[in-house]
């Protein structure tokens, strides 16, 4: 895939997974490997809201964040030809699930211990404020079936180097 494909209407890959699964790290590396650009819908939400995701949650509420997120995902799926990373909870919105049908959705699977280590327990992630380990476990258990159902490719990220993960995804794409 070359940079000319960046303007196409279908992302080269759409990365989904819980916090700490490596969507940003893997996304940047995969985009570089494929010669396309990287886009993160959380960054798109922040650009529209004019503030960090955590502030949108606190000041405007989760419902408003999810509205902005759904619109960011829809717009990105329609216009981005590179690698696209979705916020961990974006897949909870049924219209988003429907929009993902037919896309190359890659589920970055991560175990709780690795996710906790990567996210950090003093994280500014809004859904992990009280008892982050317990909240992360609950969130991962609730979302896992949706991630698995939407994925065309599932890749375990536990105890692996990012380059190895990118190699596997590139081969499977």
The domains of the chain are located at 3-172
Average pLDDT of the residues in 150-169: 96
pLDDT higher than 70, residue 22: yes
Candidate from 36-40, 78-82, 112-116 with smallest mean pLDDT: 112-116
For residues 119 and 115, give the distance between their C-alpha atoms in angstroms, rounded to a whole number. Answer: 6
Candidate from 17-21, 130-134, 135-139 with smallest mean pLDDT: 130-134
The tally of CA atoms less than 13 A away on the side-chain side of residue 74 is 11
pTM recorded for the entire structure? 0.88
DSSP 91: G
CA distances from 129 to 54, 124, 146 (A): 10, 7, 23
Beta-ladder partners of 102:
none
For residues 128 and 151, give the distance between their C-alpha atoms in angstroms, rounded to a whole number. Answer: 24
Residues 6+ apart with CB under 8 A from 131: none
Topology of the domain comprising 3-172? Rossmann fold (3.40.50)
pLDDT higher than 50, residue 100: yes
Mean pLDDT for the chain overall: 88
């Amino acid at each position: 895939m070359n940079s000319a494909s960046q303007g196409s209407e279908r992302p080269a890959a759409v990365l989904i997974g819980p916090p700490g699964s490596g969507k940003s790290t893997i996304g940047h590396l995969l985009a570089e490997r494929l010669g396309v650009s990287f886009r993160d819908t959380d960054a798109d939400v922040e650009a529209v809201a004019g503030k960090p995701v955590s502030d949108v949650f606190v000041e405007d509420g989760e419902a408003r964040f999810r509205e902005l997120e759904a619109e960011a995902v829809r717009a990105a799926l329609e216009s981005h030809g590179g690698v696209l990373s979705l916020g961990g909870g974006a897949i909870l919105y049924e219209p988003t699930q429907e929009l993902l049908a037919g896309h190359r959705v890659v589920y970055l699977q991560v175990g709780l211990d690795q996710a906790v280590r990567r996210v950090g327990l003093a994280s500014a992630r809004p859904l992990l404020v009280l008892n982050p380990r317990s909240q992360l476990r609950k969130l991962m258990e609730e979302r896992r079936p949706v991630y698995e159902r939407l994925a065309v490719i599932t890749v375990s990220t536990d105890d692996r180097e990012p380059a190895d993960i990118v190699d596997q995804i590139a081969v499977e794409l």
